[in-house]
């Protein structure tokens, strides 16, 4: 009698699991950064981040080089989801896409309204528009199977679209001093990757080697170097052209995505959090929260995201452009909308780009992000906990066949 082979773990399940674990490590890194930045080690901490290595400071190596790997993974996930995953067709894109649009527009409007009196700070309008997928999925994971699987899919898809919007925003609004010569060299490198893809070359090392050169050209061009990661990801082959298309080992994109998950989740993102979440609270008073930047960021994340995501979702469902996620209630959808206000990694990153030469403004961004994200996580968890059924659903969702 033959035994049934174990069911293949879906890419979605593996993705959720790694981000939940990575989210815990990220929280620990952020807390440690705050502790160190407000301890006798603070001077050593800030000095170490500005030590020069090969022409760049340690902080720049983390934010420009290591985070390019993070954006490479983001690009891989966007491409896979758009081609074969949860964003492969309009019915599945509709609700998270419309919700993500609301979750970008309303927080930006709130930030702008809070900063109208200080035009020099308006540049940070995009800071509260992003959702941190690791933290957000971590909150849902704490509730276990009591959260409908369809809501987890909705949140994942929405966060991926958020990342895509953030990439576009960075490329358009946070690029300065453009060098056409270096940009042309980077485009030439991408054309070479396109040719390799067209020729069905599957040697990952070749794509990554050329990608490293493209990163250097992008760094010199004036466009933020991390965007090279997303651009390179779009040319990594996904389809295997094998009869057994479910065999992940034959797809360069899937192999690279799996290879990057743990290093990104457990090393790169926590290192980014440790390097960028540290802010000295010496002399900080509650009144400082009413300053335009922290107030705009905190309200944008906590109020803007939930209002934007939920109202856009409600409108889409009422107009029958989309439908409520399976086995979920309006209160649960609202709870998830509140959770989208957790905007740690990408919000901090955009804050650095918005105020690259203003340390005080960067500290204000950090305070706003931490407060807005904390409120969103706590209130969202409370709402989802109160709305969750006492008995768990029969089974979790397996979307392996769609990957």
Residue 197 counted as domain residue:
no
pLDDT in tens, the chain (403 residues): 444 444 444 555 555 555 567 777 888 888 899 999 999 999 999 999 999 988 889 988 998 899 899 889 888 988 888 888 767 777 778 899 999 999 999 999 999 999 999 999 999 999 999 888 777 877 887 777 778 888 888 888 898 888 888 888 888 888 777 788 999 999 999 999 999 999 989 899 999 999 999 999 998 888 888 889 989 999 999 865 544 444 455 788 999 999 998 898 889 988 988 988 888 887 777 888 889 999 999 999 999 999 999 999 999 999 989 888 888 899 999 999 999 999 888 899 899 889 988 988 999 999 999 999 999 999 999 999 888 665 544 444 443 334 3
Residue with tokens 């409108």: 315
List the alpha helices (DSSP H) in 42-89. Answer: 42-49, 58-60, 67-83
* CA-closest candidate to residue 76, choices 201, 260, 274, 207: 260
Q: For residue 396, is it within any domain?
A: no
Helix (H) or strand (E) holding 365: helix 359-387
Say if 350 falls within a structural domain: yes
- Give the per-residue pLDDT at 128: 95
Q: Is residue 178 part of a domain?
A: no
Q: Is residue 191 part of a domain?
A: no
Please tell me the distance from the alpha carbon of residue 19 to that of residue 246, in angstroms, as a whole number.
Answer: 23
* In-domain check, residue 48: yes
How many domains is the chain partitioned into structurally? 1
H helical segments located in 84-222: 90-114, 133-142, 149-173, 180-198, 204-221
Range of the domain at 353: 19-168+257-386
The predicted pLDDT at position 1 comes to 47
Q: Which residue, among 231, 225, 168, has the nearest Cα to 197 in the 3D structure?
A: 231
Q: What is the DSSP string of 284-326?
A: --GGGGGSHHHHHHHHIIIIIHHHHHHHHHHHHHHTTSS-PPT
296 assigned to some structural domain: yes
Nearest-angstrom CA–CA distance, 347 and 358: 16
Q: What is the pLDDT of residue 294?
A: 95
pLDDT at 5: 44
What would the two tokens of residue 380 be? 């969202």
Residue 300 lies in a domain: yes
Task: Tell which residue, 328, 299, 359, has the closest CA to residue 153.
Answer: 328
Per-residue model confidence (pLDDT) at position 279: 83
Phi, psi at 53, each rounded to 5°: -135, 110
Neighbouring C-beta atoms of residue 202, cutoff 10 Å: 18
CATH of the domain at 337: 1.20.1530.10
């Amino acid at each position: 009698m033959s035994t049934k082979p174990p069911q293949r773990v879906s890419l979605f399940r593996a993705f959720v699991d790694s981000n939940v674990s990575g989210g815990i490590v990220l929280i620990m890194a952020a807390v440690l950064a705050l502790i160190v930045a407000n301890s006798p080690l603070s001077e050593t901490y800030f000095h170490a981040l500005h030590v020069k290595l090969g022409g760049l400071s340690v902080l720049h190596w983390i934010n420009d080089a290591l985070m390019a790997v993070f954006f490479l993974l983001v690009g891989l996930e966007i491409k896979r989801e758009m081609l074969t995953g949860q964003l492969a067709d309009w019915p599945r894109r509709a609700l998270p896409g419309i919700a993500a649009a609301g979750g970008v527009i309303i927080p930006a409007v709130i930030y702008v309204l809070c900063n109208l009196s200080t035009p020099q700070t308006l540049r940070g309008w995009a800071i509260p528009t992003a959702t941190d997928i690791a933290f957000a999925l971590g909150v849902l994971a704490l509730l276990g199977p009591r959260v409908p699987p369809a809501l987890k899919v909705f949140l994942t898809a929405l966060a991926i679209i958020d990342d895509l919007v953030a990439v576009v925003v960075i490329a358009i609004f946070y690029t300065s001093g453009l060098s056409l010569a270096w940009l042309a060299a980077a485009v030439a490198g991408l054309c070479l990757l396109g040719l390799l893809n067209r020729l069905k070359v599957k040697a990952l090392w070749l794509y990554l080697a050329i990608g490293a050169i493209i990163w250097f050209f992008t760094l010199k061009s004036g466009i933020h170097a991390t965007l090279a990661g997303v651009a390179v990801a779009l040319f990594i082959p996904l389809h295997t052209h094998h009869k057994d298309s479910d065999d992940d080992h034959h797809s360069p994109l899937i192999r690279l995505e799996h290879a990057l998950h743990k290093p990104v989740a457990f090393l790169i993102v926590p290192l980014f959090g440790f390097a960028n979440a540290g802010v000295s609270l010496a002399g900080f008073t509650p009144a400082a929260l009413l300053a335009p930047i922290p107030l705009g960021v905190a309200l944008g994340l906590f109020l803007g995201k939930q209002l934007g995501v939920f109202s856009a979702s409600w409108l889409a469902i009422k107009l029958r452009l989309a439908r409520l996620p399976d086995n979920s209630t309006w209160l649960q959808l609202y709870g998830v909308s509140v959770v989208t206000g957790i905007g740690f990694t990408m919000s901090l990153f955009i804050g650095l780009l918005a105020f690259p030469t203003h340390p005080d403004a960067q500290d204000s961004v950090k305070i706003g992000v931490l407060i807005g994200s904390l409120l969103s996580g706590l209130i969202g968890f409370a709402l989802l906990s109160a709305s969750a059924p006492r008995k768990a659903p029969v089974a979790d969702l397996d979307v392996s066949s769609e990957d």
